[in-house]
Structure 1
Amino acid sequence: MSDRNGKLKAGAVERTEQGRQTGFKGKAAPVGSHGKSGSRLRIWVGVGALALLLAVWHLTDVGNGVRASGDRWLYGWYGGLMVWAAAMLGVLGYGIFIKRTWSLELIFTGAVLGLGLMYLVVLPPLSAPDEVSHYITSYQLANRMMGKPNYEDGIRVYIREQDRFIEDLKDVLKPDGSGYRDREEVQPSGENKERKQAVILGQELTEDTYRTIHERGIRSTGENGRAVSYQIPVRTTPLAYVPQALGLIAGQLLGLGGLGLLYMGRLFNLLFFTAVGCLTVRRLPFGKEVFCGVALLPMTLHLASSFSYDVLLIALCSYFTAVCLDLAYRKKQVGWQDVLILAVIMGVMGPCKMVYGIVAGLCLLIPVKKFGSWKSWVLSAAAVLGTFAVAMVLVNGRTVALYTNPASGYAGYVDWAEAPGYTFGQLIRTPLLVLKLCYNTLMWQGEQLYSGMIGGALGNMDHVLNTPYVVILGLTAILVMLSLRKPGEPLFISMKGRGWIWLLGFSCLGALMFSMLLAWTPVGSSVINGVQGRYLLPILPMLLLTLKNDHVVRTDWNDGTLLYVMIGLDVYVALRIFSIVCLRVS
């Protein structure tokens, strides 16, 4: 699929991008060049002052939590977060509004790392969705990379004895992880006995979680020996956990304790996201600010500072989009290195969640003539799709067979609901039922998906630890404004190309819903269970890029100003959540 704009000369996009923001050629594109000096200063001071004023307001909530719990050190934690936020807003504001020569890559790096570290502290280890499963899978890979024994029974992973508290805060499991201790909790009536449930760090985020972190610290406790985790690792490509595993290895080499390992694993995942994000911003021929906006959403920052493999999916989907757009609209010729990059991304990303393999359709935006011949085009397509198919067979072949084979025991049964589910054959034979459930899900849960994508329920899908709806609307407005065309900016994606991108987006959403219908939805449910807004983040940037049009042009509020307002809103969300957690005193 080719667009008329593919005829632009090489380098036109760079000149356009630089010219619209700076008025100069041949220089790195800064992000805060428009507007009078006084106006820039007012925005810089105003946003920072408002964020810190709201932080002082929520200090009263922290004080209430301190009086209820007696933990005065919470003041110190909150004060440290306020100082970090003020310094970050000051430095980034100086680069955007005063210095005005900082590249978008530099602003992106400072904002994502600064905010990511805030969210890493405010939403502590294992508080993200499914993070405990991602943690133990990273631990499994770290053991393998260090040549350590890995399994007790072929499933459960060996961990250090001093790390056992992470998934058993109340110490109710046997040290080897094989079951409950002999002592049991007896109900007040004495008639029935009820075993205690193991409490996992951060799963339910309360003030007690902060207290545990404060009391234990990140240093090693000196406990020797080996224990067994009772968490089951995720069955997927180990490449999705390389950054996290490297963090765990670094933590062990530094002699850190369990909490130290958790923070190191999260930090390395954040660094990976930042590095790939910088490559994405650099490679995008246009719309760089759109990706930056998506990366600065509260949900993206929360995931980026966790163990989740969603970090890899968001980062690689965005970079894949950047490479395809670069080849379609800027680069003169497609080289073998470009094909190799696309194939590697699909081979790494595809097995994590196969539905995102649909983004490979972006390659069809690249004109065939840039490959040199139809033969080269076919070989390139075979390389990209073949790599994806081979990776799928090697990593997910068994999983696909389990869910499509009625005799496997996995098909037709939903564990979490302990109820019958749909089989692959049933869904294929009843397309109207599938369409009806998809329609019901979008109509009844569409707002929940939208707010969840932005950050409506952070932590472990905790709706109390939320981004206020007015902030969600503000962030949405900023994303839309970042996506609009600026004066003098050409439209690179034709109507045909935009239609193709939206078809890919709807196909990806449909595949996500079908997979959740097959694996997570019991028979009789009126909606599809398990579909979450965060699943839309990998495809959000490419959809936003299609909003540029000839009819609506942004003439005010440059990219730097809009991104700075987003940073201020992110700071507010983080500080507000910390104050809410302080109030959750058990």
Structure 2
Amino acid sequence: MKLGEIEGKKILWALGTGAVLLLALWHYQGVKAGALESQDGFLTWWYGILAVLGLAAVFALGWLLLGKAKFKIETIFAAACLLLGLIYCFVLPPLSAPDEIRHYISAYKISSTMLGQPSTDENGRVYIRSQDLFIENSGGSQDGAETGQGLGLFLEEKTYREIEKRGLKGTGDNQTVLSGQTAVATTPLAYVAPGAGIALGRLLNLGGLGLLYLGRLFNLLMFTAVMWLAVKRMPFGKEILCAVGLLPMTLHLAASFSYDAMIICISIYFAAICLDLAYSGKNVRIRDVVLLAAVMGIVGPCKMVYAVCMGFCLLIPVRKFGGLKQWAAAAAAVLFVYGAAMVLINLQTIQVYTGGTENYIGWAEEPGFTFSGLLHSPGKLIEMFYNTLVWQLQYYHLTMFGAYLGNIDQVLDVPYFIILFLTFALVVMALKKPGDETIYIKGWKRAWIWFLFLACAGATMFSMLVAWTPASSRVILGVQGRYFLPLLPIFLLTFKNEWLVLKKNYDRQLLFLIICSDVYAAVRLFSIVSMRI
């Protein structure tokens, strides 16, 4: 490494850390104003802890990325994901992520099974401890009305106050009652990690908040471990996986109860296995096929649209299987496991959406579109897709990177210039750099990955058109950018070309700036919530 390059990295390290420090001091004014107005002095020392942890994370991760010692990128990612994930878990408390209250109650159900206790009654309602009822009954207020739909559903200063007041200790009241929330009808494997966290909290006799934070921590640990495996196995473009894994939206989901955390990391791991088998010198072994089948059997029933990920297997040359017959057997095994999982978990759902002649959208109290009706009206289907892309594409971009966090709360926003920088950073990291002698994904393989990405996006939009959109709407409702994160890193890898080549490799510098952006977003969000009285 040249002396000038070393000095440049030191300057960037110092500037990044200094900028985060100055911004943290600036946003302290908002926290102080909120503390004075609410008379909750704990906000200032909470913010002090957050600022110190954030600065420590920026300083330490900057040293790992920009220092003389060359640490493996997967090691740096694991450290960054855990540190930043814990910060986001603190700033955006339990139940603040999209649909998190239902994911929480689904994990609670699994925890009862783990502990050998009854999980549901005859009607499928979930048993919880009576001391945990406050979690779903202590919502915030919006426009003067009490929501009463969950602790962090509407995130405001009152949420922090209740967390500080209750603490992690339990009350000792372990009498079981029925939750008013409905568990998600999906594979129980989606909630094994957070369910284990809740089970541990119950064994330790922690209170409801203790269960919430342990459940989130276990989900974050699962996400970090699987992403570490994915980055480690990826034959090229490792930094792209790291960058997508450190986007504000990804961190928010990873540090929550959401099964999106599992879907994102498992889907990326599946793609990493396929690319490793396609481009490394390895031949496909039986254990590789078993692993691919197992991964698809886990992720498939969660959201059926990610079945397109199986298409990554076609990037692997037939010769690496030992011949066409072995290739066909491997493909059949993966398809069989996926199909069996779908029939076992989602058969009833599939029958409802594909066989019904009527569809009622409960939240809108209106009739909706039907599968058969759309197939017989292709013009209407094209119109809905066109209108949605024209009016909603910007929203998909913003919600994929994390412009609106919480329950897609536009007050809890990450500034637009940060979203622009994150977009720029991902594109630059995807381009060819010195030392990249080979462009692996090109020709038909590039076109195939584009097709898979578009097929996933189209299937997602179609599913929400049937499941969530009333017939009176002119656009497809319910689609969010976070649904595209599982395929985003592989799609970005196709950007590398021979026409646009960078003179230097700035991947580690950009990763450091992404980390700085994450910490800045966290301290700013804490300030916003503190003033939301």
Q: 1:549 aligned to 2:497?
A: yes
Q: 1:524 aligned to 2:493?
A: no
Q: 1:413 aligned to 2:324?
A: no
User: CA separation of 1:363/1:233 partners in 2, compared to 1, >3 Å: closer, same or farther?
Assistant: same
Match of 2:110 among 125, 138, 141: 141
Aligned equivalents of 1:509 and 1:304: distance in 2? 21
Structure 2 equivalent of residue 487 of structure 1 = 434
Deviation of the 1:197 alpha carbon: 5.6
**CA offsets 1:429-453 (integer angstroms, 9 cap, x no match):** 1122112111111110110110110
In structure 1, give the amino acid aligned to 2:509: T
In structure 2, give the amino acid aligned to 1:294: V
For the 8 Å contact 1:34–1:558, the answer to whether it is kept is no
Structure 2 equivalent of residue 76 of structure 1 = 45
Structure 2 equivalent of residue 422 of structure 1 = 369
Aligned equivalents of 1:265 and 1:224: distance in 2? 18
Structure 1 equivalent of residue 54 of structure 2 = 85
Match of 1:60 among 20, 24, 29: 29
Aligned equivalents of 1:238 and 1:331: distance in 2? 36
Aligned equivalents of 1:350 and 1:199: distance in 2? 30
Aligned equivalents of 1:196 and 1:449: distance in 2? 30
Q: 1:558 aligned to 2:527?
A: no
Match of 1:277 among 223, 227, 246: 227
Structure 1 equivalent of residue 78 of structure 2 = 109
For the 8 Å contact 1:236–1:351, the answer to whether it is kept is yes
Structure 2 unpaired stretches of 5+: none
Aligned equivalents of 1:234 and 1:87: distance in 2? 38
Alignment of 1:32-47 (within 5 A): 36-47=5-16
Pairwise CA RMSD: 1.5
SS at match of 1:227: strand
Aligned equivalents of 1:314 and 1:332: distance in 2? 25
Larger Rg over CA atoms: 1
Aligned equivalents of 1:330 and 1:481: distance in 2? 24
SS at match of 2:133: helix
In structure 2, give the amino acid aligned to 1:417: A
TM, length-normalised to structure 1: 0.88
Alignment of 1:70-469 (within 5 A): 70-169=39-138, 198-406=148-356, 411-469=358-416
In structure 2, give the amino acid aligned to 1:437: M
Structure 1 equivalent of residue 516 of structure 2 = 568
Aligned equivalents of 2:24 and 2:222: distance in 1? 30
**CA offsets 1:545-582 (integer angstroms, 9 cap, x no match):** 10111111122352211100000000000100000000
Aligned equivalents of 1:373 and 1:523: distance in 2? 50
For the 8 Å contact 2:461–2:476, the answer to whether it is kept is yes
Aligned equivalents of 2:55 and 2:41: distance in 1? 22
Aligned residues: 528
Aligned equivalents of 1:501 and 1:466: distance in 2? 31
Deviation of the 1:348 alpha carbon: 0.4
Aligned equivalents of 1:309 and 1:340: distance in 2? 23
User: CA separation of 1:433/1:34 partners in 2, compared to 1, >3 Å: closer, same or farther?
Assistant: farther
Aligned equivalents of 1:291 and 1:331: distance in 2? 21
Structure 2 equivalent of residue 180 of structure 1 = none
Aligned equivalents of 1:100 and 1:294: distance in 2? 24
Deviation of the 1:89 alpha carbon: 1.3
In structure 1, give the amino acid aligned to 2:253: L
SS at match of 2:168: coil
**CA offsets 1:131-184 (integer angstroms, 9 cap, x no match):** 00000000111111211112234221110111111011279xxxxxxxxxxxxx
Aligned equivalents of 1:351 and 1:157: distance in 2? 21
For the 8 Å contact 1:151–1:157, the answer to whether it is kept is yes
Structure 1 unpaired stretches of 5+: 1-21, 23-32, 172-194
Aligned equivalents of 2:521 and 2:146: distance in 1? 34
4+ residue runs of structure 1 moved beyond 6 angstroms? Answer: none
Aligned equivalents of 1:170 and 1:144: distance in 2? 28
